Structure 1
Amino acid sequence: MSFGLLFSQQVSGIPQVESSVESQVEEYPTENGIVYRVVVKNLDTANYAVYNVFIPTGVDTVRGAFIHQHGCGMEGRGVATAYDVQYQAFAKKWRLAVVGPDLYYESGCHDWKNPESGSGPSLLKALEQVGKASNYPELRDAPWLLWGHSGGGHWVLGMMKDYPERILAAFCYSPAFDPQWAYPDEALKIPVMIRHAGANDSNSPDGKCWETAVNTFHKLRSAGGLASIAHTPYQNHNYSFVRYMAIPFYSSVLAKRLPMGKSVSFTAMRDIDETTGWLGDTLLTNTYKYAEYTSTPMALSWLPDSMVAAKWKEYVITGTVVDRTPPPAPYGLTHKRLHNVAVELSWQATADVESGIKQFNIYNGNQLIARFPEHGVYQRFDTNGDEAIPMSGLPELKTVVMVPAGAGANVSISTVNHFDMESPRTVFTRVD
């Protein structure tokens, strides 16, 4: 028995959780906001779901929720999304909540990959609970950006079937299990991008990722859906720099679909006129402005604008998207003289939305005197599940540098993103 008993009642066509209970919402402050944690348990089975929801500091109204669903066998790693500084910066820019679910079922993903098993209704319950606890009650009705890997990609497709009116956009990373269901007309309004690795993907009779991607794309696109497909042939099921494509795709769709004004209701989402977009030839990787294409547009990927079309082409050719813009500069800089040769520095930083934070460079005048962290990177992501590393507990932005007293030192610091683009330096007050 799974979460199947959770929704005997229908309200406005949306399954409601009945036989479930939530834990108290716990709060975990971070440098950029608060992570709220809640557990939704099934009273009739041992199945339960844990949701970690990040809400950025300074947001007046939550306008949507980015929901990042892990794949099969990756339970326990979903929490990382809520602590991912790149996704946190993305959320702050667009006034979103970031949701990292962990679904624990007796049968594993065999059941949870289908939203009607209860994994859909439990999400609704968690968002409502966190909305109340955080004083952002609009979270209950905010529209969604969905992301899913493998079994999580199957779950996203299931959500498109069951909750299409709530979804702003969807990104499926090697979705699995080739669902045979039909999609309602409302799902055809959802911009969706599907990534797969072709022959290198997980293509066993149980996985069928290549089949899932191609069949789903053709099913949606032939019906007039706003679907695109990205084949990265030199990668595999567990290797893709998918967020470098997903974030600009989402950003373009958010600009076109988010409700106008202060409304956050999913019922106020705007539809996109297909003819204002671009098309991508999946075989030749050529791109075309929709209005200027003279053949059959349903045979090509639909892309929301010229920027996404260019990045889609780069992604399918190279397997990544290069960030060519510098990150924002650090801020909130302070220093404290420890003794005559050492100064303690502390600062704050907003991650580069496109490519995160690799490190910070520290200068005395024009001389590079240190980097933070001293070795490795500040945060990266696992190309398998796309989860942040470290998963939580990032090191505090504080370090000690050697700057002799009386030398008239002028210390500055910059942020470096994962494509080695460096921000402008932010200068500390004169260190005496």
Structure 2
Amino acid sequence: MLGVLCGGVPANAQQKPYDVYPAAASPYYRVRYEAAKEPGGLIFPVNYALWVPPGVERLRGVVVHQHGCGEGSCRSGLTGAWDLHWQALAKAHDCALLSPSYEQPEGADCQQWCDPRNGSAAAFLRCLRDLGVASGHPELSEVPWAMWGHSGGGHWAGGMVLLYPERVAAAWLRSGVPLLQADPGRAGVRAHELPEGALGVPMMCNLGTQEGVTVKDGRFAGVWPANETFFRAVRGRGGLIAVSVDPLSSHDCGNQRYLAIPWLDECLRRRLPLAGAVEGGLRRISPEDAWLAPVLGGTAVSAQGFAGQVNELGWLPGELTARRWEQYVRDTRVSDQTPPPQPVNLRVRGNELTWECEADLESGLAGFVIERDGQELVRLPEQGRNPFGRVLFQNLQYSDTPTLPLAEMRYVDSTAESGKSYEYRVRAVNTAGL
């Protein structure tokens, strides 16, 4: 069953926790499918939300933000398309931002969606067609994909690279990778083939150090061995893949977006067909300015003139990305020298202020400073919440998506005196403090 929505909650929505999500009025669009009844189809209902940058004439790609396994992670996917930081990446390349939410009951087999061959790839392709029609961008069904996935979502995103290498511009795999050989300890998990075409797709294996690197036991201890095996297999055949270990985190997403988004930005600049090109597939990345990164952190080096075993080191697309990688694997403090975009369309109605603002592509949006008559009045959010890393204006969930209710660019000045005039100014602050 198909239902394209422009707002509200569908009558056929599954009962809580999957029936609470933001309204999808343009430039947001939503489509939801019931569980498939035919053999081989997706056994869970799925909800896809899409954001299209206002004013874009023709989309050049779609950034896919894929949550992980479990009811909580699946539910977190409902807000992914509203993330201002990920929107900044998508807008920079005339791409849409897509966030799926698989309605997996707690305790159900995650492999039934995170293996794309179990119906989720077919549902994904279907949603691109349906959302392309609903948004007035039918090219959505044909444009390339930039993949980001967490945990089971990393398994899914990597699986999509292996199944559709000609469609994927780049893939960031946080705490999850597909299997390339059968694992007797993981019943029901099928191995993938590694096609030649996948070797030309930039990929990053990203995980927390407590997922088997420095902590060798516990629930997530197997993440590092799986990532290392996947990296060795791909890089051993010359694939464009690297490893970035978060030194501060476990299975949560931590501060990974401050490397993931700039890394995807660089890959999209090099891979997407040139703006205005009607024909032509993804561009191959030139090896001339590649940098090489040790697997478990340290100092990256230029590939030019490197005399060692190239395929034992990770691949990075250029010096700027290499320097960011070095900062990230040291302490996750990826630096930024540029201020965020300034707020616009400040309106004052009575004592209520509203405004609009885009996020900084490198460092996101930490909040706002509101001034009244040249003096600081308040900083928003007054109590930001992110137990996993830098505080963001929209707050952050475990699976790297905003919390509900979505933060509003709105402030009520309760200390304003009736009949008195004030001059207000709103300043944006990114997570680097600029």
Q: TM-score, normalised by structure 1?
A: 0.83
Amino acid at match of 1:124: L
Greater strand content: 1
Q: In the alignment, which residue of structure 2 is the partner of 1:78?
A: 77
Using the TM superposition, name which of 295-304 and 344-353 deviates more.
344-353
Pick aligned residue for 2:413 from 400, 403, 413? 400
Which consecutive unaligned segments of at least 5 residues does structure 2 have? 9-21, 182-191, 385-391
**CA separation of 1:239/1:144 partners in 2, compared to 1, >3 Å: closer, same or farther?**
closer
Matched, 1:379 2:359: no
2:59 aligns with 62
- Cα shift at 1:240: 2.3
Specify the alignment match of 1:353 in structure 2: 361
Question: 2:6 aligned to 23, 26, 32, which one?
Answer: 26
Question: Any residues of structure 2 matched to 1:156-235 within 5 Å, and which?
Answer: 156-175=157-176, 178-180=179-181, 181-198=192-209, 200-201=211-212, 208-235=222-249
Separation (CA, whole Å) in 2 of partners of 1:238 and 1:413: 32
Match of 1:282 among 263, 271, 295: 295
Moved more, 82-91 or 317-326: 317-326
How far apart are residue 204 of structure 1 and its match?
A: 6.3
> Structure 2: how far apart are the matches of 1:214 and 1:200?
12
Distance 1:163 1:365, change over 3 A: same
% same residue: 31
Find the aligned partners of 1:366 and 1:24 in 2 and give their Cα distance: 47
SS at match of 2:4: coil
Counterparts of 1:138-157 in structure 2, within 5 Å, are 138-157=139-158
Report the Cα offset of residue 420 of structure 1.
2.2
- Give the match for residue 37 of structure 1: 30
Which range is displaced more, 324-333 or 242-251? 324-333
- 1:402 and 1:379 map into 2 onto residues whose CA distance is 25
Give the superposition deviation at 1:386: 1.0
Query: Partners of 1:284 and 1:149 in 2: how far apart?
Result: 21
Cα RMSD (Å):
2.7
- The structure 2 residue matched to 1:291, chosen from 273, 288, 304, is 304
User: Is the 1:103–1:119 Cα contact (8 Å) retained in structure 2?
Assistant: no
Once the two structures are superposed, residues 13-68 of structure 1 have per-residue CA deviations (whole angstroms, 9 ceiling, x without a partner) of: xxxxxxxx432343579899622111133133753221111112121111111111
Q: 1:207 to 1:39 in 2, by over 3 A?
A: farther
Q: For residues 32 and 25 of structure 2, what CA distance do their matches in structure 1 show?
A: 23
Change (3 A) 1:191 1:203: farther
Deviation at 1:239, TM superposition (A): 4.6
Q: Which residue of 1 aligns with 2:314?
A: 301
Between the aligned partners of 2:418 and 2:24, the Cα distance in structure 1 is 31
1:319-340 CA deviation, whole Å, 9 max, x = no partner? 342334321111112334x3xx
329 and 313 in structure 1: CA distance in 2 versus 1, 3 angstrom threshold: same
Query: Cα offset for 1:316?
Result: 0.8
Give the corresponding residue for 1:243: 257
How many Å apart are 1:379 and its aligned residue?
1.1
CA contact (8 A) 1:154 1:179 kept: no
Query: Is 1:49 matched with 2:46?
Result: yes
Gaps of 5+ in 1: 1-20, 422-432
Aligned partner of 2:352 in structure 1 is 344
Number of residue equivalences? 393
Match in the other structure for 2:95: 96
Show the counterpart of 1:368: 376
Cα deviation code 1:205-241 (max 9, x no counterpart) = 9973111111111111110110000122442122521
Residue of structure 2 equivalent to 1:17: none
Return closer, same or farther for 1:164/1:207 CA change in 2, 3 Å cut-off. farther
Q: 2:101 and 2:23 mapped to 1: Cα distance?
A: 20
Q: Is the 8 A contact 1:62 1:264 kept in 2?
A: no
Q: 1 CA distance for matches of 2:412 and 2:87?
A: 23
| Aligned CA distance change for structure 1 residues 245 and 32 (closer, same or farther; 3 Å) | farther
Instruction: Find out whether 1:269 has 2:282 as its counterpart.
Output: yes
